Amino acid sequence: VLQRMLNWIGFVVVTSIAPVVTACFIGTSDQCSCDINRLEIRCSGLENTLDEVMLSLAAETRYIVLRKNWVLDETTLRAEHIVGLRKLVGFDISHNRIDKIEPDTFSNLRMLEDVDISRNKIRVLENNVFSGSLPSLRNINLSGNKIIIILDGTFNAASNLESLDLTENPVVFLGARSFEGLVNLQYLTMSGFQVTEFPSKPLSSLVNLRRLELRNFPAITGIPDAAFSENSRLTSLTISDVPNISELGWGSNCLRNLSKLRHLTLRTCNLPVISAVSFENLKQLKQLDISNNPIGIIKSNDLSALLNLEELFLVSTALNEVQAGAFTRMVKLKHLNVANNRMTTIDRGAFPDDISSMRKLTITNNLWSCDCGILWIVTSSITIENNGVTCTSPPIYQGSNLTEVVARLTRYERCYICTIKDFPSPNYTQVDVGGTVDLPCYATGTPLPTVTWYAPSGLVISSAFTSTPRILRHNLIGKHLFIRDVTIADAGVYKCVAANGVGVDQKTLKLQVR
């Protein structure tokens, strides 16, 4: 005991000359270093046993870093190793072969802030490893272990914990109250779990969670509507590599409670379609990544609620069509990535009238048809990330670089901007309740323009727009908008937008209902 008390006294004598001392009191000079200012010891490659090291530490030690020491034989971290270190602030014993932690190992250490036991061989995490009162504990890293069971109340003692890392653990049982008491947890990451049910109940304890990452959950087949019912403060959510979700496994309301989300990633989750209902409450979302899902098509109103979106990633989604109006409400969109898909063209009418906010477009590895329909991309101020964009058709341009084709298109092809030729004048009309409105909108141009009608709400009008029947009658170069059985709710400003690869034209009409 006297020796342990004198250890740091010896540091003071030596470090009055130099602030950092090597060859502390364990091992040789190239195995340990000590910092008297922080009361810290760092050791690597020790031949001493864990018992020998831990039981020789001075009670005044504040920081312990023992990475990569016991890499051959499995060993146990015991309560007596730490019980006397009442001033301990940081403990890092990562990258070893610790296979067990005894109960009460971390007990009543009131100054302890950080614990890193990652990259070890722990299989079972006893529910009283962290016990007593740990009011200062903010971060626990248990990643890269072999943990298969996490019991109820495992982290109860760490009521002020802010970050918990459980990545790369093959957990098969996660107690419904595993995270009970973690009312201040803000960041949780889990991966490699083999649980068969989505952990809705454990997550329900984390009412102040801000960031959640769930990666590589191969046994989960569905995400229920109540998945995040108590996590309304989430600002960042990542769900990736959950490939076995069934076609009906996505709860359409599973994201409904997450109105504060800023970043959402749903990668490799077998997401078959985009549901407008799923995203309708995510009005603050800035970044959305739904790559590596078999989506195929983005319909007009699928993402209409994402008014503040700045980045959208649709990489490797078997995407072959983006309908007109799909992105028109994303006036803040800066980067769109549709690489590695089956796109042949992308309609100018899919984007807002003003695309000045768009800075980057990633379109590599698609089946681009390099004709007038794609001219708007390369003639705009948008940066095309990776100029290795090649043309698949027409045959004359097959294999050519897109930027090389532009000069030929503008010189030899007849590309004409679209113009709306037939539209009601004056730009307002009156109708009685119960009546019918016929609004024509014809446009000319080369290539043939797409014509899209927008309701006063800003949504694209389609035959399934509301329960009130609305029918779009398609003509050769334009569309009529019919509104039958008009109600007071139909009043407002309607907009017709015509777009092709060369430009955009639009006209508006105010409908008054008597």
Ordered domains of the chain (ranges, CATH): 418-513 (2.60.40.10)
Q: Is the pLDDT of residue 432 over 50?
A: yes
Does residue 17 or residue 393 have the better pLDDT? 393
pLDDT of residue 502: 83
User: Does residue 5 register a pLDDT over 60?
Assistant: no
> Which backbone phi and psi does 77 adopt, to 5 degrees?
-90, 120
Most distant CA pair in the chain: distance in Å? 99
Q: Which residue has the tokens 């927008």?
A: 454
Do the beta carbons of residue 449 and residue 495 sit within 8 Å?
no
- Cα–Cα distances (Å) from 224 to 42, 220, 292, in that order, read 46, 11, 21
* Residue 463 in this model has a pLDDT that exceeds 90: no
Distances (CA, A) of 274 to 270, 319, 449: 11, 12, 26
Residue 429 pairs in a beta bridge with 511
Whether pLDDT at 386 is above 90: no
Provide the percentage of residues in the chain whose pLDDT is more than 70: 89
Q: Per-residue pLDDT for 342 more than 90?
A: yes
> Could you read off the pLDDT of 72-127 as tens digits, one per residue?
778 999 999 999 999 999 999 999 999 999 999 999 999 999 999 999 999 999 88
Q: From residue 415, give the alpha-carbon distance in Å to each of 254, 381, 450, 510.
A: 46, 19, 15, 32
Cβ neighbours of residue 437 under 8 Å, at least 6 residues apart? 429, 431, 481, 482, 483, 486, 490, 511
Is the distance from CB of 274 to CB of 295 less than 8 angstroms? Answer: yes
Which is nearest to 417 in space by CA: 298, 498, 309? 498
**In the predicted model, is pLDDT for residue 486 greater than 70?**
yes
Highest mean pLDDT among 5-19, 32-46, 280-294, 399-413: 280-294
Q: What is the pLDDT at residue 477?
A: 42
**Binning pLDDT at 50, 70 and 90, where does residue 24 land?**
low
Greater confidence (22 vs 113) lies with 113
Percent of the chain at pLDDT above 90?
58
Grouping H, G, I as helix, E, B as strand and the rest as coil, residue 362 is strand
Name the band, by pLDDT with cuts 50, 70 and 90, for residue 387. low
17-26, 33-42, 259-268: least confident range: 17-26
**What average pLDDT score do residues 410-414 get?**
68
Asked if pLDDT for residue 468 goes beyond 70, the answer is: no
Q: Is 16 exposed, middle or buried (0-12, 13-18, 19+ CB in 10 A)?
A: exposed
Check pLDDT > 90 for residue 17: no
Other beta carbons within 10 Å of 228: 24
Residue 235 pLDDT level (bands cut at 50, 70, 90): very high
Q: How far apart, in Å, are the Cα atoms of 432 and each of 137, 367, 436?
A: 68, 49, 8
Query: Phi, psi at residue 369, to the nearest 5°?
Result: -95, 110
Q: What is the mean pLDDT of residues 311-329?
A: 94
DSSP 314-338: -TTS---EE-TTSSTT-TT--EEE-
